[in-house]
Structure 1
Amino acid sequence: VATDPAIASIVFDRDARTYAVTVSVSVRPANDASATIVRRYFQVPVVVTESGARAATLPSEVAQPSTAVDLQLGYKFRVANHPIGTSANQFLAALLTGNGEVARYLTPGVSIAPIVPAPYRSIALTDVLSSVDLSASNSAAPRSDGDVVRLLITASLKITDAESVNGQYALTMTSRGGRWEVSAIDSTPLFAATAPRSGVNSSTTSAPSPSTPKSAPSTSASTSVAPAQAPAPSQTPGSSLPAVGEVPLFSPSGN
């Protein structure tokens, strides 16, 4: 059983005038509804002619499209068992599952609306990366009001009892009154060249409208930081599409 089809990548070969289209689907055995759902990827060459688009061959299963190794994000430290992770977890649970009030986790003056209806039944944080070292050695002293930390949250978002997806949120967190509050859902992640220095306030972006990753109820996953190098960020291979008029996208009849 295959569900949730999505485009994973599109690459245009100008010499062959062919698109390599990779799609992904969630797959489980048809005779076992409780089996683990896995994401699989299939690639098919598509040729566009005057008579329309045609698949040149049957789809072939391939590995997940590779990620770029030259793109470095600015989240250098892994967080575990730290209050900032608990705050982020509770905020995302309220945003994505309706479990709690979003406003209580926000910096004063910031407005972020919950997603209605809530798309997920529950969320569970699987990884928390930070722009600042929040390890035990640095977390004993309370942060000053106004200190800013950028987080990259990876969460498992439960849709049904048998189905869940992974989602990522880049958050700007600000310290106030001994607690961490959400100042923004960042529209772009923090890149290495712009990462703020530890313990120094950084400018925050205004809170954009939340995107729609899949989430799950808050699991009180607190997080403290054991400084560890964050894994290299991922990037979907960019598609290289032909210029308008190079390849006809429709037949003369308009079909």
Structure 2
Amino acid sequence: MTMPLTCRARRARLLLRWRQAPAWRRCGAAYVSRLWLSSAAAEFFATHLTGAGEVDRYLAPGVTLSPVSPAPYTAVSVEQVSAAEEAAAAEKMPVDGTAVRVLARVEARDVGGRWPLAYELTLKARSGRWEVAAPESGTAPDGGAR
């Protein structure tokens, strides 16, 4: 069975982007987008930036994060997650306590349009899932601004 043309084109763009990335990012960027780490980031941002649900379920124990109120966006999608640590690209979920720093490129939407954002996070493995251990405030230096 062959992939539809749109899937093949997207896959080709992702592969090209991966090849152009610095070596330290290639390790994570190639695998992170299809593993647990990117899912955890996507669910966290969708909840935190749209106000849809409780963000506490995505936070590591002891981490507190005030809700964004009023919620600034109606929808959020994670475009890319890159990580410097090799644990991000592991085939299996790492042991509890393993931490990775990630850069998540996010597209947020509101009534005014689409906004490219970039956030730095530290995620920590616990009980077979990734949790946000250290959210950075604001956007990463090379992220978009409202």
TM-score normalised to the size of structure 2?
0.72
The answer to whether residue 113 in structure 2 is matched with residue 163 in structure 1 is: yes
Q: Deviations over 1:16-64 (max 9, x none)?
A: xxxxxxxxxxxxxxxxxxxxxxxxxxxxxxxxxxxxxxxxxxxxxxxxx
Shift of 1:212: 6.7
- One-letter code of the match for 2:93? P
Q: Following superposition, which runs of at least 4 residues in structure 1 exceed 3 angstroms of deviation?
A: none
* CA gap 1:100/1:212 in 2 versus in 1, 3 angstroms: farther
Unaligned segments of structure 1, at least 5 residues = 1-71, 187-209, 214-232, 236-255
Match among 136, 139, 154 for residue 105 of structure 2: 154
Query: Does 1:96 pair with 2:49?
Result: yes
Tell me the CA shift for residue 75 of structure 1.
4.3
Q: Note if contact 2:49-2:72 (Cα within 8 Å) is conserved in structure 1.
A: yes
The whole-number CA distance in structure 2 between the counterparts of 1:131 and 1:121 is 30
Query: How far has the Cα of 1:132 moved from its partner?
Result: 2.0
Task: Tell me the residue number matched to 2:17.
Answer: none
Q: Distance in 2 between matches of 1:75 and 1:112?
A: 28
1:113 match: 66
Q: Distance in 2 between matches of 1:168 and 1:122?
A: 15
SS in 2 for 1:150: strand
Percent identity of the aligned residues?
A: 33
Tell me if structure 2 keeps the 8 A contact 1:75–1:150.
Answer: no
- Distance in 1 (alpha carbons) for counterparts of 2:83 and 2:127: 20
Uncovered stretches (5+) of structure 2, i.e. residues with no partner: 1-21
Would the aligned equivalents of 2:118 and 2:142 in 1 still touch at CA under 8 Å?
no
Contact 2:109–2:115 (Cα < 8 Å) also in 1? yes
Structure 2 partner of 1:128: 81
- 1:174 and 2:124 matched: yes
**CA 1:148–1:116 in structure 2 vs 1: closer, same or farther (change >3 Å)?**
same
Q: 1:68: which partner in 2?
A: none
Q: Provide the rounded CA distance (Å) in 2 between the counterparts of 1:132 and 1:212.
A: 21
Closer/same/farther in 2, CA of residues 113 and 75 from structure 1, 3 Å limit: farther
**Of 25, 39, 44, which aligns to 1:86?**
39
State the one-letter code of the partner of 1:113. Answer: S
- Which string of whole-angstrom CA distances, capped at 9 and with x for unpartnered residues, describes residues 146-171 of structure 1? 000111000111012x6111001000
Which structure is higher in strand share? 1
SS in 1 for 2:49: helix
Shift of 1:234: 4.6
Letter of the structure 1 residue corresponding to residue 118 of structure 2? Q
Instruction: Specify the alignment match of 1:143 in structure 2.
Output: 94
Asked if the contact 2:118/2:139 (under 8 Å) is kept, the reply is no
CA RMSD of aligned residues (A): 2.5
SS of 1:170's equivalent in the other structure is strand
Larger Rg: 1
